[in-house]
Structures are given as C-alpha cells and as structure tokens.
Structure 1
Amino acid sequence: MSVAAPPGLLIAAPRSGSGKTTLTLGLMRAARQRGRRVLGAKCGPDYIDPAFHAAATGRPGLNLDSWAMEPALRHALVAGVAEAADLILCEGLMGLFDGVPAEPGRSGSSADIAAAFGWPVILILDVSGQSQSAAATALGCATLDPRLTIAGVVLNRIGSVRHQMLAAQAIERVGLPVLGALRRAPEITLPERHLGLVQAGETADLDLTLDRLAGFIETQIDVDQLLDLAVPSRVEGREPVPARKPPGQRIAVARDAAFSFLYPHLLQGWRAAGAELSFFSPLADEAPPPDCDFCWLPGGYPELYAGKIAAAPRFLEGTRRFAESRPVHGECGGYMVLGRGLIDASGAHHEMLGLLGLSTSFEKRRLTLGYREAELLADTALGPRGAKLRGHEFHYATIADKGDDAPFAILNDAYGSTPSLAGSVRAQVSGSFFHIIA
C-alpha cells in the first residue's frame, strides 16, 4: 500500500567534483526562503553533507543507502518525514551510476535511490573544457538506465555567453531541457578537509555563505521551474523500521567537534524504540553521565584535538570508571580514543583512554574506504556473536600497534575480497574503524 510522501528530486552528476553540493545547498536555501518545508537527503555513506543540508533547510536530513539499508528501512525513513516536509531534495554521491557489484537496486548508487522513490534527476554537468560534446554525456545519462527520468540539465563552470549557448543548444537538440547555467565562482567555494568539507559547525559565517549560494543560484537558474519538476515520492506503506536495536536504555553519546560522525537515522531509531540519549562533550572535559548504561564514542576528528583530549581528566577518568561496569563502544575516531595512544600528523604522541590495547597514527596516513559487512566475533551490546551489520570504512589513520585484544568482527567488502579481522574487544569495551549504517 502506498502512503503520501513529499515530492522529491535528486541532484546528480556524471562524476564527483561537478558541483552537486553547490547546486543542492543553493536550491535548499532558496526553497526555504520561499517558505517551503524542504528536507535534505544524501545518497550513500556521508556524515558531512547532511549537516550542511540541515543548516540550509533548518531541519535534520536523511541518509539513504541502497547497499547498506534494506528497502523497508529506506521507505520507512522517507515515509516518516511526510508530516515534516513538503519537498525532498536529495544529493547524489560520486557519479549517478557509480556503485558496487550487487543485485539490482542494491548497488549503493544514486540511480538506485532515484529509481526506488521515482524521483526525477536534475543533472549538473561541469562543461569546462568542452561545449557541444557535453550533449553526449547528457544523452548517455538519460538513456543508460531506463528506470530513470532526467528532468533537466544545469550547466556548471560556464566561461562565456558563447560557451553557454553552444553547450545548451547541443543538449536541447537531444531532447533534454537546460534549466540554467552557473558561471565559475571561486568566491563561494566551501572549505575542505581530508574527509570532505570542513564540518558545518566549524564553517565561519555559514548562514551568510548559504544565503550567498542561494542568491548565486537564483541569478542563473529559474528556481521555481526547477522545483516544480519534483514528483510525489513513491513510498510503500510500512511501519517504522529501526536501523539497529538500541544498545542500551540510556545511551551516553559523545558529541562535539571531535566526535560528530553518527548517522541521524540511528539516533532517531533508538529514540523511536524507547531509548534515552544523553550527550556529553569530551572537548569540554565532560564524562559519560553516570546514570547511563551504555557509552558510544562516534567518529570524527580526534586527531585534530588529540592534545586537548589527552588533557581532559574528567573525561578520561570518568570514561574509565564507566567502562568498569558498563559497555563502551567506539567507531573510527572513537576507536582511536579508546586505545593507548594517538600519534598526530606532526608525529606527537598523545595518551588516550587505554581501554583497548591499540595505538593509532595520523602521521603515517593511508586512505581506507568502502562498504563493509561485519560479522561480530563476540557478544556485545551491538549484538550477539554472529550478528551481521552493514556499514563502511572511511579513514586515513593507521594502526601503529594493534595490541593483544581479541578482534571485534570479520569484515567482508562488496567485491568478494578475502575477509579480514577488524577492531578490538576487551571485557565490555569494543571498537573498530567500521561505521554502522544498518
């Protein structure tokens, strides 16, 4: 049975770096300025873009992942915003069709999400270095996957009026409307860091930047025409589906600039299942609240604040006391802080919690990323031995010394590579670089 859900559009591109985020944020803020209750969504595993979406729209957004999330969860997440929003703008990841080998509809691609909800695609094309040839790319995107509808094209990084005319005329000749063209505008770029954009909370004058983005978009695109292309989301009527059972009744969650990577749908699901969340800031030298029965240290950027964390006695001692009687889990950056030490980019060593035996290094960097399925190797608050979780890894840190703790999970990637042991477990403390999605 179908249920009413807001109309939606998906903003996509043939490749990364084409301008999806610029267009998406500008449209979100422009829609909000029109009084629309717009909700932002992001395809795939990403913590940073959704925070910018929330700043642009004024409401928390969604992650939608066709590989890690079962269809029931994805549909429940979109159905759950029916009363809070009247428009969904979803930002794609990488190129429109980029994903992993999987059964149809479960590749993790933006195309899968657009097809699942029936959202038309707005294709943004970086046409720098070409003109009429851009029509071949647009036509290929329009015909490769019969599940999709390309509702229109936005040209990006236009160099001149003649450049715009040549590209636009060629694209319109193959039957695709051109909705506007964005000139090169280095003055409105957002600052970046090694995992993507600098976090929304750290971006100076973010509201002003978002207003400038909206103004920039308004001058070169008919925003009302574009937003009118949204169609009602195709959602099957389903009961709320938790992404993961809460690991406790009262959950202490570290949250500040060093610990900020936790998917909103996990928190929402825990609350919907009756769990209570208590947030604390290690950077403010706060310890997990003593009335909680589980502590979660999410990922983030602890390597940027290692000295401050190492000099936070209430956080360190309070977390150690907490772990004596109750479970603690760390994801990625949180896993690094649970270890004995963290080596920062300059080579300086900082003492961490010492609840696990590993030491990690940001001086010796290596990019590790990709989808993972984790099979738990011990009974933990996250599930019994043998339970399987889906998520991903995305980090530059390396392990300098793994210590002698038992492994947390067996990891399989999406390509059939040899499974690997990952993470650490000691008594009630566990952690790994693996981020849980569902």
Structure 2
Amino acid sequence: MNGVVLAGTKSGVGKTVATLATIRALQDAGHEVQPAKAGPDFIDPSHHAVVADRPSRTLDCWLEGTDGLRRNYHRGSGDVCLVEGVMGLYDGDCSSTAMVADALELPVVLVVDAKAGMESVAATALGFREYATTAGRDIDVVGVLAQRAHGGRHAEGIRDALPDGMAYFGRIPPTPDLDIPDRHLGLHMGTEAPLSEDGLSAAAEHVDAEGLAALAREPPTGGDPRTERGEHDHGPRVAVAEDAAFCFRYPATMERLRSRADVVTFAPTAGDDLPDCDGVYLPGGYPELHVEALAGSPALDTLGTRASEGLPVLGECGGLMALAESLTTADGETGAMAGVLPAEVRMHDRYQALDHVELRATSDTLTATAGDTQRGHEFHYSSADIGRDARFAFEMERGDGIDGDHDGLTEYRTLGTYAHVHAESGAFDRFVDALDGDEYSG
C-alpha cells in the first residue's frame, strides 16, 4: 500500500481538516483510503475513521519502534495511505512527523497556512525542504497543500512562486463549515463533531487527489511479523469498556486482544453491567464528562466486587480514574467510582502531564515482568491523591506517572496507569497470558 504524509508547519495549522478533505478527494477519485496518524493521538484518528469508514492506524516511533511502526502500517487496507502528521514537521524528540516519514520512507506534503500569504508560502515550504538537508535528515518535502487559501489570484500566486521540484497540490478554502470544536485534550471526537458533508465535499474539489496518489510510495516491511490468529470464540474472555467515557483505544490493541481472546464490549455510561469475563480492560477517554452516569453505573459496582475477588483488571488513564475511589471534576462535582484503587482523582483546568514515557516494572504485574521496560505516552488533566498504603508496579524512567516517580497503581490483580501503551509493547500479550495461567498472582 503506497503512502504519503501530510505534515504541518506548526500545531494548529489545520492538518486534520486538510487530511479529512484529502481523504474525501481521494475517495471521490476512486481510491480506497487508509488513514493514519503520526504520534500517539486518539482524537484526530476518530475523525479519520468517520470519513474513511475504517480505523486509522497509529504510527509512533517511540511506542512501536521502527519495525513495529512498519508492521502496523502494513496491517492497514486500501490502495493509498494518508498519514496526518503531529505538531510541526520536525517537532518532537521521540516521534516527530519527520521521524515517522523517515522510518516509512514516505514523501511529505506540507500543509501551510496561506491565509495572509502568497510568495511567503513558497518561502516557508522551501525552508522546510532545505532544513532537511542542512540537518542531515532524509526527508523528501515534495509539495504543499495551501490551508485557508482563496482561489483565483491567491491560489495562482502560491502555485507560481513554488520552486522547481515542489508541487502545488491544491487548497483548503476558508469556511466555517470546516471548523471542529475543541476542549481539554484536543478536538471533540469524530462521532461527536463530524465535519459538514457538504463543506468537506466542497473543499475536496480543490485538492489534487491524483497528483497525491501518483507520488505515494510503498514503505519497507517491518521485519518478522508477529503471528496473529483470527478473532477468537473461545479461550479467555476479555470485557472492554466502550462508550463516550472510554473511547481512547488503538485499533492495533483491539486487534491484538481479539486475536488472542474472546472480546466482549460493554458501555458503563449506558447502564450496562459488567459481562461475565476472565479479565477487564478499561481504556482512556472522558470519564470526567460522565461522572454522574459512572457513579450510578452497575458495571462499576460489579467491577469493584469482582476485582476484590481477584478478577484481573487493566485501566489506562481514564480507566485508572474510574477504578479510583472518587472522581471530582474541575467544577467540583464528585462521584464515587469503582473504589478498587486507593486514590481520589481530581480534574484541573491545566494539563498535569504531557509526554512520551518509559516505565520499568519493579515487580511482576499484569502487563510486564519485573525488570521489563515499557514505552507509552501520558496526557491528562487530572491528578491522583493516593492512599498511604498505595503500591506501584512501575518506576518512571521518563515522564511523570502518578506521583512524579511511579506509575501503575496496583491492588488485588488490578493495575491502573496514566500511561497508554501500544500493542507492539507486548503489554496486552502479557495481560492475556495472565488470564490463561498463574504467571501473575498480584
């Protein structure tokens, strides 16, 4: 599957809208588009999935490593993969857009804000291309997509100013139909605030889809692929929370779980009780927006009882928050949670942690063996006031974790982390193994 990267000059330049318009343009040209996102984000991919009608692949060098990243790319389907970048092209010390483009050997199209520029757009693009050479980066910036550009003389001025070897791939017109509302953690999810179909189609008409498809390239494969079976209908049964409060799941994680276990989903905020299962995975999301529903959820009551009886439970970020004793919003609303982990969680107006992280297991736990290291990322607006008897499974090699030095609050056979990890880390294989045998006893 050939691919191309849409990179920004900076954060906030309109990469997501440009990506969605380009997906639609490629579809209108008869292509099957596989969307992907550089970096660990959950929100932008949710918008990709709505437009492309297939899950967006997460591509992060830190979380997956080069081979894992390539394997994850090739698990996609379609004839063209469109990779949305993260921040500006060269920004990020662990997994920048440039690092992802280099690992996949894909060409880069630069999304440039053209609202008040013409020749300056060309100068900006040239600077990004030449910087790759001076910095010793093997990055091939092949053209631009002009964000917030008008037609006529404005578009012609941008196109005519571009240097040799740099193509003009069209424009995204300025229109309020293409605004996506945001909140803490980023944009609203794709299912909450999809773009106007008419606005998206109108923007797509100005994108050179065939030009982009023609320059797309096939990345290298990812070495020895992991052997994965199809979906299970036997073996350990894993219950995965799936609703508006628990919506941050990587497609590769769900694929990995389904390849090794019988997966059943449930919606705590909709009144579902916890299904009969051998283990529970609570992904991240927005529990702080659903405190009342979660406080009255039968699933959390049952989860508290089953966890105290030894049911293995894994919670990531929002999942950790739901496993705590209580959750208090930034407005002061407090609700009782599952009460499994000795912590009271409070939301803040400012983010409390944002980074790629590395954890070292200090003892055997649900997702790691003592001494193992795992890479992940953290981004949260909450903090946890932990009990004096709190036990942690991980020390922080990089990042903040729960208390600045540790992550992985553990009780019974329950593990709650602020870190999100990818399936390539091996964490979910370890989790399923713990359901099958006695490798982890808490």
- 1:200 corresponds to which letter in structure 2? G
In structure 2, relative to structure 1, the CA distance for the partners of 1:35 and 1:178 (3 Å cut) is: closer
Contact 1:79 1:237 in 2 (8 A): no
In structure 1, the residue matched to 2:70 is: 75
Contact 1:20 1:92 in 2 (8 A): yes
- 1:89 corresponds to which letter in structure 2? L
Tell me whether 1:405 sits opposite 2:398 in the alignment: no
In structure 2, relative to structure 1, the CA distance for the partners of 1:9 and 1:241 (3 Å cut) is: farther
Tell me whether 1:188 sits opposite 2:186 in the alignment: no
In structure 2, the residue matched to 1:251 is: 238
Aligned residues: 411
SS in 1 for 2:16: helix
The Cα of 1:363 is off from its aligned counterpart by 4.5
The Cα of 1:408 is off from its aligned counterpart by 3.0
Q: Could you tell me how far apart the structure 2 residues matched to 1:155 and 1:405 are?
A: 52
The Cα of 1:223 is off from its aligned counterpart by 2.3
SS in 2 for 1:94: strand
In structure 2, relative to structure 1, the CA distance for the partners of 1:363 and 1:75 (3 Å cut) is: closer
- 1:176 corresponds to which letter in structure 2? M
Tell me whether 1:338 sits opposite 2:323 in the alignment: yes
**CA-to-aligned-CA distance 1:205-249 (integer Å, 9 cap, x gap):** x3x72453132121x23322232221223325532268xxx9x93
Tell me whether 1:173 sits opposite 2:157 in the alignment: no
Contact 1:26 1:210 in 2 (8 A): no
**CA-to-aligned-CA distance 1:410-436 (integer Å, 9 cap, x gap):** 122279xx9712241112122121111
Q: Could you tell me how far apart the structure 1 residues matched to 2:370 and 2:410 are?
A: 12
Q: 2:50 aligns with which of 51, 55, 72?
A: 55
Tell me whether 1:279 sits opposite 2:265 in the alignment: yes
Q: 2:189 aligns with which of 199, 210, 221?
A: 199
Tell me whether 1:154 sits opposite 2:145 in the alignment: yes
Root-mean-square deviation (CA, aligned residues, Å) is 2.4
Q: Could you tell me how far apart the structure 2 residues matched to 1:166 and 1:31 are?
A: 25
The Cα of 1:130 is off from its aligned counterpart by 3.6
In structure 1, the residue matched to 2:35 is: 40
The Cα of 1:129 is off from its aligned counterpart by 3.8
SS in 2 for 1:321: helix
The Cα of 1:317 is off from its aligned counterpart by 2.2
In structure 2, relative to structure 1, the CA distance for the partners of 1:128 and 1:33 (3 Å cut) is: closer
SS in 1 for 2:87: coil
Contact 2:18 2:172 in 1 (8 A): no
SS in 2 for 1:201: coil
- 1:189 corresponds to which letter in structure 2? D
The Cα of 1:334 is off from its aligned counterpart by 1.0
Tell me whether 1:322 sits opposite 2:306 in the alignment: yes
Q: Could you tell me how far apart the structure 2 residues matched to 1:229 and 1:332 are?
A: 39
Q: Which runs of 5+ in 1 are unaligned?
A: 1-5, 101-106
TM value normalised by structure 1: 0.87
Identity of aligned residues (%): 34
The Cα of 1:385 is off from its aligned counterpart by 2.2
Tell me whether 1:20 sits opposite 2:15 in the alignment: yes
In structure 2, the residue matched to 1:260 is: 247
Q: 2:82 aligns with which of 89, 95, 105?
A: 89
